[in-house]
Amino acid sequence: MRQLGKSLRIALGFCALTALQSHAQLQQPPQQQQQAVIRFVRDPDPAPELKAKDLNGQDLNLEAYKGKVVLLNFWATWCGPCRAEIPSLIRLQEAYKDRLQIIGMDVDDDEEQLRGFAKNQGINYPVAMTSLPVRLAYGGIGALPTLFVINRDSKVVQKHVGLFNPALYEIEVRALLDIPVPVRVETFQDTGEIFLTHADRATMLPGVDTSKLTPEQRIAALHKLNADTCDCGCKYTLAQCRINDPACSLSKERAAVIVSEAAKLPSKDAPENSAAPPSSTPSGATDAPKRK
């Protein structure tokens, strides 16, 4: 019965992944219907080292997990979409604990607050505070959550920005573990979608120029872009709207104002002095950070 339950859960996950494609495919002639596809980078770059300590004070590095698939998740406790996917990540870690390692890299929280949150949520994978060098090494992390999929050779093969269907994560993990999956696996040449050679460019969201900001000011700007919701009706944060809809004039204009305000902040105080967003946001958007 346990094995049957697991098989049913996986099958339901596969159904969830393909459900959005089913309606469109039914509108096409049979010869045009396509199988669901997942994509990995053809010649992936090595994942940058973490050089961090988890909440227990233990060294956290990717070398220790070589041979396992790693899901490296950049998030924050005040980010609504980040919180929403934690139960699925917990279940995924438990289901594949011998061959998968999820790592949570918190980008902007007080350590004691993070410790209490992780305990209350029952997070069963390592969690660490993200240093500025690590954040920049992974492209600046313009929107939350951002999850990097790392293969068993410690190379980055995919990146997901925003809240994704947990069934997709499971299928990608199974494919990288050479477990059969009912999807077609394709490879592509990365030209900057996943892991930029010049990672500093990734700190600029589409149409948002942060090149004149100091690293501290840039983080303050990105924090607010990830906390404030766009007014265009998309229910995304400003950062997510810029990524998903670069043509949106509302998010572009508000982002420009935020960057301008961040440029006036003293560099050493920029993250702490960044303005706090409203305490409530629509479903699917990030919540306001809680400050002491």
CB 92 within 8 A of CB 173: yes
Tell me, yes or no, if 230 is annotated catalytic: no
Helical packing angle, 80-95 and 111-121, nearest 10°: 50
What is the distance between the alpha carbons of residues 1 and 125, in angstroms, rounded to a whole number? 27
Annotated catalytic residue, options 79, 230, 234, 248: 79
Annotated catalytic residue, options 82, 230, 241, 248: 82
Catalytic residue ranges: 79, 82
